[in-house]
Amino acid sequence: MNNIISGLRARLAPVADRVGTALEPVGRVLGMKSVKYPLRTVGVLLIYALPILHLPLINTENSDFSGVLFTVGTYVLVALGLNIVIGYAGLLDLGYVGFYAVGAYTVGVVTSEHGQWPFFLALPLALVVTMASGVLLGAPTLRVRGDYLAIVTMGFGEIIRIVARNTDWLGGAGGINSIPSPPDIGPEEGLFQIPHLSWQYGYPTIDDRVTKVLHFGVLDATPYFWMILTTIILVICADMLIKNSRVGRAWEATREDEDVAELMGVPTFKFKLLAFAMGACIGGLAGAMYATRVGFINPPSFPLMLSLLFVAAVVIGGAGNRWGAILGAVIVAYLPERFREFADWRLLVFGIALIVIVSFRTQGLFPGRQKKRVAQAEKEVQKLEEGAEIV
Amino acid sequence: MTLLEIRDLNVNYGHIEAIRGISFSVEEGTITTLIGANGAGKTTTLKTISGLRKVHSGSVFFDGKDITNAKPYERVKMGLTQSPEGRRCFPGMTVMENLEMGALLRKDRRSAAYREDLERVFGLFPRLQERVKQAAGTMSGGEQQMLAMGRALMARPRLVLLDEPSMGLAPKLIRQIFSIVDEIKAQGTTVLLVEQNANQALKRSDVAHVLETGKIVRSGPGEKLAADPAVKAAYLGGDV
């Protein structure tokens, strides 16, 4: 597995370089120093275009592709949030679905069950409420470490679900329905319309389906995907800023050695709480978007299994590296949808794939820089020790 | 001037009394040493001074202020840092990143003063400068010890606590580390040293205290204690 990936990387790197060099004259004409950023822009635009391109092989034939992409988007958002908690601060949270549920329920309550708030007003409230719930859960529990924290958080996830089921104010077991879509922006027919492509025998043709831009209907999930993709990009930017700041380094130190972090002057408890609150906030964001997309939430929408899938996404991708976490989320959310034809085998194949990944890439597919270094150091020390024995 | 003062300190681990009523003080610009066997309470004393352990009773004064209940980061801000027992560098961070961690609370990272402190650490430990980009976990024990000490100095402390800097090192390296402790003192930073390697430590300390099961049983100038027959018999086996 290691070899395959490094081999792939070695093979792909020259190709990327060649594309880069080939594009350089174009860049020079346009007055740009590097083609790296334009290339990235093209990449991002391509992701935005995914739901209308319906590319063969990637497209899901049996379920609505935009809908699948939206689901993948929620997982990516959740993985980014959970990566802060698990990857950066080193806190194993097995009840992350709790925050996702709090976000979804906040939107459900104020837009449908007990109010008619527009979604874009409910969203900031959901952020505040989930952040507060993160602090409320974190303040008493972050004093315990490691496995104990995992158990306590797992309990939290379950408590949220059970409380929702037994509270009539929250809709009880029946849940909350007719959660409105976000309000449309622009005229009835959308700001402008974008046609979809469909592919036959490898050739694209323009379909009669159209997506109305910024028009959040029930049938077409594409605008929702664009909304969540934009959110993801914003979250990634914030994540980069924080990771490289004093806060990011304080988290790193806390994760590696809490006592020494204290000696360096890190109030570790406060920083753990901050990581928890930020992670909760992003999880709540994903939950809020999920609620407004599906329009109906009930307690069984937030099972323990979902928490475990979220953790799996972060761990498979490589905790501590945001791109790894994103890849993990895509794997966990997309692959089962893409290969629905093997529906009966889905969980089995998925399980095997997970076992293969974690046994051959113990740090995840793309581990964080730190973890890679630690693993490398341990390997070297072990080598030295083995050498000493022979001598 | 007295920089650190410990008054009638008691520290417990559950029901076990680790420190039983010790009092001593550290004068500015000196090296003070605590020696004693395993389990005598040396590390516990240091942990209490840096705030990692809570006191049961008694008080700790730093620079005339009562810091008995201050948080560790507040103590770092006041100029009290520690190089922990067993080095404990951040293995996945590079040498430079480890040193930057030591200066986490400083807000003057782009200033000349910061550069100066970095130069000072590199002056004390030239080996670190050669390896700024190496991951700390891949370095030898001696190098990691240097890094741990350098890291503690990066906050520009007034008092640095060194917990067994000679632990697990080769004799040649031990001598080197101790001469660096001298240099740290010469540069104006007060040192509180905890050691099992009593001979080397006593030779260079202005004041030394012998700890036994949580109590100070002997105190005095380092040279004098080193000549004390009882101390000699208990702690000074062979010369290192």
The verdict on residue A4 lying in a domain is: no
Buried b (16+ CB within 10 A) or exposed e, A259-290: ebbbbbbbbbbebbbbbbbbbbbbbbbbbbbb
Percent of chain A scored above 90 by pLDDT?
Answer: 48
The verdict on residue B28 lying in a domain is: yes
pLDDT (average), residues A117-132: 94
Chain centroid offset of residue A18 CA: 31
> Does residue B71 share a domain with residue B1?
yes
Q: Which residues contact A297 (CB under 8 A, 6 or more apart)?
A: A101, A104, A105, A108, A175, A176, A179, A290, A291
- Of B135, B156, B177, the one marking the end of a domain is B156
Q: Which residues contact A227 (CB under 8 A, 6 or more apart)?
A: A182, A216, A289
The verdict on residue B169 lying in a domain is: yes
Residues A203-241 pLDDT 10s? 888 877 788 888 888 888 899 999 999 999 999 999 999
Smallest Cβ–Cβ distance between B77 and the set A265, A374, A378 belongs to A265
Interface touch B72/A378, C-beta < 8 Å: no
Instruction: Count CA within 13 A, CB hemisphere, residue B92.
Output: 17
Does residue A391 register a pLDDT over 50? no
CA distance A342 to A349: 9
CA distance B9 to B45: 9
List, as ranges, residues 358-377 from A with C-beta within 8 Å of B. Answer: 369-374, 376-377
Query: Residue B125 belongs to what domain range?
Result: 90-156
> Does residue B166 share a domain with residue B145?
no
Interface touch A377/B52, C-beta < 8 Å: no
Residues A304-355 pLDDT 10s? 989 988 998 898 888 888 999 999 899 888 888 887 777 677 677 777 877 8
- Of B156, B185, B206, the one marking the end of a domain is B156
Chain B residues with CB under 8 Å of A271 CB are none
Residue among B138, B144, B153, B161 with most chain A CBs within 10 A, to mutate = B138
Considering only A105-119, A213-227, A249-263, which range has the smallest mean pLDDT? A213-227
Asked if the C-beta of A189 comes within 8 angstroms of chain B's C-beta atoms, the answer is no
Environment class of B60 (CB within 10 Å of its CB; exposed 0-12, middle 13-18, buried 19+): buried
Specify the length of chain A in residues.
Answer: 391
Interface touch A370/B92, C-beta < 8 Å: yes
User: Residue A29: what pLDDT?
Assistant: 63
User: Residue B182: what pLDDT?
Assistant: 92
Specify the number of domains making up chain B: 2
> Does residue B55 share a domain with residue B131?
no
- Of B156, B175, B205, the one marking the end of a domain is B156
Asked if the C-beta of B137 comes within 8 angstroms of chain A's C-beta atoms, the answer is yes
> Does residue B187 share a domain with residue B69?
yes
The verdict on residue A22 lying in a domain is: no
Interface touch B104/A246, C-beta < 8 Å: yes
Does residue A5 register a pLDDT over 80? no
> Does residue B172 share a domain with residue B72?
yes
The verdict on residue B84 lying in a domain is: no
> Does residue B151 share a domain with residue B38?
no
User: Residue A34: what pLDDT?
Assistant: 63
Percent of chain A scored above 70 by pLDDT?
Answer: 89
What are φ and ψ of residue A144, in 5° steps? Answer: -90, 155
User: Residue A27: what pLDDT?
Assistant: 60
CA distance A223 to A288: 15
Ranges of residues in chain B whose predicted pLDDT is under 50: 239-240
> Does residue B167 share a domain with residue B75?
yes
Pairing of strands A203-212, B2-13: unpaired
List, as ranges, residues 146-185 from B with C-beta within 8 Å of A. Answer: 151-152, 155
Residue among B47, B49, B73, B154 with most chain A CBs within 10 A, to mutate = B73
SS3 B163: strand
**For residue B192, what is the domain's CATH number?**
3.40.50.300
User: Residue A24: what pLDDT?
Assistant: 65
Residues A41-82 pLDDT 10s? 899 999 998 888 888 888 887 788 899 999 999 999 999 999
Which stretch of DSSP H or E encloses residue A106? helix A97-108
> Does residue B195 share a domain with residue B176?
yes
Does residue A110 register a pLDDT over 90? yes
> Does residue B226 share a domain with residue B115?
no
User: Residue A132: what pLDDT?
Assistant: 96
> Does residue B61 share a domain with residue B75?
yes
User: Residue A170: what pLDDT?
Assistant: 93
User: Residue B129: what pLDDT?
Assistant: 92
Residue among A255, A263, A370 with most chain B CBs within 10 A, to mutate = A263
> Does residue B113 share a domain with residue B8?
no
Query: Residue A355 belongs to what domain range?
Result: 64-384
Is the Cα torsion angle A357, A359, A364, A367 positive or negative in sign? negative
Does residue A259 register a pLDDT over 70? yes
The verdict on residue B49 lying in a domain is: yes
pLDDT band at A261 (very low <50, low <70, confident <90, very high): very high
CA distance A40 to A43: 5
Chain A residues with CB under 8 Å of B104 CB are 246, 249-250, 253, 264-266
Residues A171-194 pLDDT 10s? 999 999 989 988 888 777 777 788
User: Residue A26: what pLDDT?
Assistant: 63
Chain A residues with CB under 8 Å of B46 CB are none
> Does residue B240 share a domain with residue B126?
no
What's the mean pLDDT when you consider all of chain A?
Answer: 85
The verdict on residue A71 lying in a domain is: yes
CA distance, residue A247 to nearest chain B CA (Å): 10
The verdict on residue B85 lying in a domain is: no
Specify the number of domains making up chain A: 1
User: Residue B240: what pLDDT?
Assistant: 42
